[in-house]
Amino acid sequence: MPDLMRRTFLGVASAMALRGGPGRKSSDTPAVLGGDPVRRKPFPSWPRVGDVDRRNWRNVLEACRWWRREGHYVVDFEKAWAKRMGARYVVATANGTSALMASLSALEVGPKDEVLTTPNTFIATINAILAHFALPVFVDTDLDTHLMDPAKIEALITPRTRCILPVHIGGNVCDMDRIRAVARRHGIPVLEDACQAHLAEWRGQPVSTLGELGCFSFQKYKNVPGGEAGAVVTNDEKLYRHAYGFHSHYRTPPNEGRMDPAECRNGINQRMAEFQAALLLAQMTRMEENARTRDAAASRLRELLEDVPGITPAKMYEGCTRNAWHMFMMRYDAEAFAGLPREGFLRAMRAEGIPVSAGYNRLNRQPFLENTFKTRMFRAVYTDKEIAAWRERNHCPENDRLSDEVIWLSQPVMLATAADMEDIVLAMKKVQRHAEAIRKA
């Protein structure tokens, strides 16, 4: 269908629907101003539980082998996840933060070190770095993809740079070709934060296997949920043994003989429980089907959004062969909505029955960083001059702009139907038509 005809058709269809087309009861008055909402039916709930989940959970409960060294579910999960990722080793951890901490320990990240990462991420990425008394150095964001800008990495590298930590935020995949090229030139390891990127791929290769190590979270709201759980992925035997050791007080990995005392270092308890692993193995039976559903919904929504000026979906790099769609990320341009602030747009969309939200907010400028640097522990490691130098480098203007514009739909929304995606766009158009009235209300 020619573009002009397609846009005309979509416009007519939208108008008919909003006037009360077949199967739809709605007024053109925005719900936030007292009209009927576009949608009353809730979007899919999360997580989903089936018979296999219940059976696995009961098996663990009744066997009373709840610790990983007594049961088999954690080891079974590690093997299953390693096979799905095409990796040699997986360490199952208590959560995604634990996976990051164990990985940073394996790379010997510590005091006086710097880790290059993104300001557009969940706070866990940064807290894992700070837990090792290293400094997070923020690489500005690529406004189009919402990901770490690979062009801005090299200028931030110093003799103290110990690791590059890209985050595949929302399930979108960082430009791993350029990131790895910079890392190789400087002999710096790459640790992938894939906590939101289950089954995402770069040139057909699963994320988490593109750097020296990769990390996943299986928290309740992730695409593959286990309540609280995580995993470290690597193909390097030495890094595997140290990540495993850190997460379990340097106990020996199962069936691998005694840990050489010369290898042992400090560790803590970050082990995954049998209950978590049992749930994850059950969830894995449905994860590919769910991923295909999200792919289809995202494709339809991207197509429909071409007809909504002022809403710009995040782009993908050419090498991203599969997006996990943990979030459907967009930018909102208030000028295209009669100057309606983003908060007003979000409020109006929610009134229409669409659960849209804002994104992360300038993580590199949050007060917790300065408060951390003032603690006795950090003052024992870093001088005032070193922290002042960190502040001078901590400028991410593109991410500041993104923080003001970004809007998200969460992954359960992407488990809905093509008709549900049309509801989202109908609501956007409805709010856009009445944006000035909403702004003035």
d(CA 48, CA 25): 29
Query: Residue 172 class from Cβ within 10 Å (0-12 exposed, 13-18 middle, 19+ buried)?
Result: buried
Question: b or e along 9-33 (b: 16 or more beta carbons within 10 Å of the residue's beta carbon)?
Answer: ebeeebeebbeeeeebebeeebbbe
Residue 22 counted as domain residue: yes
Beta bridge partners of 358: 407
What's the structural domain count of the chain? 2
Digit-by-digit pLDDT tens for the chain (441 residues) are: 444 334 433 443 444 444 333 334 457 999 999 999 999 999 999 999 999 999 999 999 999 999 888 899 999 999 999 999 999 999 999 999 999 999 999 999 999 999 999 999 999 999 999 999 999 999 999 999 999 999 999 999 999 999 999 999 999 999 999 999 999 999 999 999 999 999 999 999 999 999 999 999 999 999 999 999 999 999 999 999 999 999 998 876 666 556 677 777 888 899 999 999 999 999 999 999 999 999 999 999 999 999 999 999 999 999 999 999 999 999 999 999 999 999 999 999 999 999 999 999 899 999 999 999 999 999 999 999 999 999 999 999 999 999 999 999 999 999 999 889 999 999 999 999 999 999 999
Residues 62, 134, single domain; the answer is: yes
Query: What pLDDT shows up at residue 252?
Result: 67
Q: What is the pLDDT of residues 236-256, one digit of tens each?
A: 999 999 999 999 988 766 665
Q: What is the pLDDT of residues 177-229, one digit of tens each?
A: 999 999 999 999 999 999 999 999 999 999 999 999 999 999 999 999 999 99
User: Which H or E run contains 74?
Assistant: helix 73-85
Query: What pLDDT shows up at residue 6?
Result: 41
Query: What pLDDT shows up at residue 130?
Result: 98
Question: b or e along 248-278 (b: 16 or more beta carbons within 10 Å of the residue's beta carbon)?
Answer: bebbebeeeeeeeeeeeeebbebbbbbbbbb
Residue percentage of the chain with pLDDT more than 90: 88
Residue 433 counted as domain residue: yes
Of 237, 259, 282, which residue sits at a domain end? 282
Length in residues, the chain: 441
Query: What pLDDT shows up at residue 11?
Result: 44
Main-chain dihedrals φ then ψ at residue 341, nearest 5 degrees: -60, 155
Of 282, 304, 328, which residue sits at a domain end? 282
Of 255, 282, 309, which residue sits at a domain end? 282
158: left (phi over 0), alpha (psi -120 to 50) or beta: beta
Residue 30 counted as domain residue: yes
Query: Residue 388 class from Cβ within 10 Å (0-12 exposed, 13-18 middle, 19+ buried)?
Result: exposed
Q: Compute how many other C-beta atoms are within 10 angstroms of the C-beta atom of residue 70.
A: 11
CATH number at residue 78: 3.40.640.10
Q: State the helix-helix crossing angle for 73-85 and 274-305, rounded to 10 degrees.
A: 30
Q: For residue 255, what are the contacts with CB-CB under 8 A and spacing of at least 6?
A: none
Q: What is the largest CA-CA distance in the chain?
A: 74
40 to each of 351, 352, 427, how far by Cα in Å?
10, 8, 12
Residue 379 counted as domain residue: no
Residue 173 counted as domain residue: yes
Residues 70, 207, single domain; the answer is: yes
Residue 234 counted as domain residue: yes
Residue 382 counted as domain residue: no
Domain residues for 101? 51-282
CATH number at residue 331: 3.90.1150.10
Residue 385 counted as domain residue: no
Residues 19, 130, single domain; the answer is: no
Do residues 354 and 115 make contact, with C-beta atoms less than 8 angstroms apart? no
Residues 57, 39, single domain; the answer is: no
Residues 268, 417, single domain; the answer is: no
